[in-house]
Amino acid sequence: MRVSELKLYQFKNHSSKSWSFCDKINAFAGLNGVGKTNILDALYYLSTTKSYFNHSDQQLILFGESESSVYAKVEKEQEFEVLASFGESRKKTFKKNGKAYPRLVDHIGFLQAVFITPYDISLVFEGSEERRKFIDFTISQLNKEYLNDLIEYRKVLDQRNAFLKSLDGRLMDTLLLESFNRTLIPVGKRIYENRKSFINDFLQIFQEIHNTLAQSPVPVSLKYESTLNEIAFENILASTTHRDVMSQRTTQGIHKDDLVFEINGMPLKKFGSQGQIKTFVVALKLAQYQYLRRKSGDLPILLLDDIFEKIDASRSQRLMEMVCSEDYGQIFISDTHGARIKEHFEPFNVNFELFELNDQNSAATSNA
Choose which CATH entry (3.10.180.10, 3.40.462.20, 3.40.640.10, 1.20.1050.90) describes domain 125-295: 1.20.1050.90
The whole-number pLDDT of residue 43 equals: 98
What is the length of the chain?
368
Q: Specify the DSSP element, H or E, that contains 211.
A: helix 174-214
Where does the chain show beta strands of DSSP type E? Answer: 2-11, 14-20, 25-29, 67-76, 78-87, 90-96, 99-100, 113-116, 220-225, 258-263, 266-267, 301-305, 331-335, 352-356
Cα–Cα distance measured from residue 206 to residue 288, given in angstroms and rounded to the nearest whole number = 8
Amino acid identity for residue 48 in this structure: T
Q: Is 349 exposed, middle or buried (0-12, 13-18, 19+ CB in 10 A)?
A: exposed
Contact (CB, 8 A) for 25 and 331: yes
What are the angstrom distances between the C-alpha of 81 and each of 8, 128, 236, 253, 301? 14, 36, 47, 40, 16
Q: Please tell me what DSSP assigns to residue 171.
A: P
Q: What are phi and psi of 288, to 5 degrees?
A: -60, -45
Do 125-295 and 1-112+298-368 have the same topology in CATH? Answer: no
Residues in the chain with pLDDT < 70?
310, 360-368
CATH topology for the 1-112+298-368 domain: Rossmann fold (3.40.50)
Quick check: 304 and 286 in contact, CB under 8 A? no
Give the pLDDT confidence score for residue 352 in this predicted structure: 95
Q: Could you state, in order of their start, the residue ranges of all structural domains in the chain? A: 1-112+298-368, 125-295
Q: What does the pLDDT read at residue 367? A: 32
- Give the E-state strand segments of 106-214 in sequence order: 113-116
pLDDT tens readout for residues 276-311? 999 999 999 999 999 999 999 999 999 999 887 767
Burial category of 320 from C-beta neighbours within 10 Å (exposed 0-12, middle 13-18, buried 19 and up)? buried
Whole-prediction pTM: 0.93
| pLDDT at residue 310 in the model | 67
In this prediction, residue 361 carries a pLDDT of 53
Buried b (16+ CB within 10 A) or exposed e, 299-314: bbbbbbbbbbebbeee
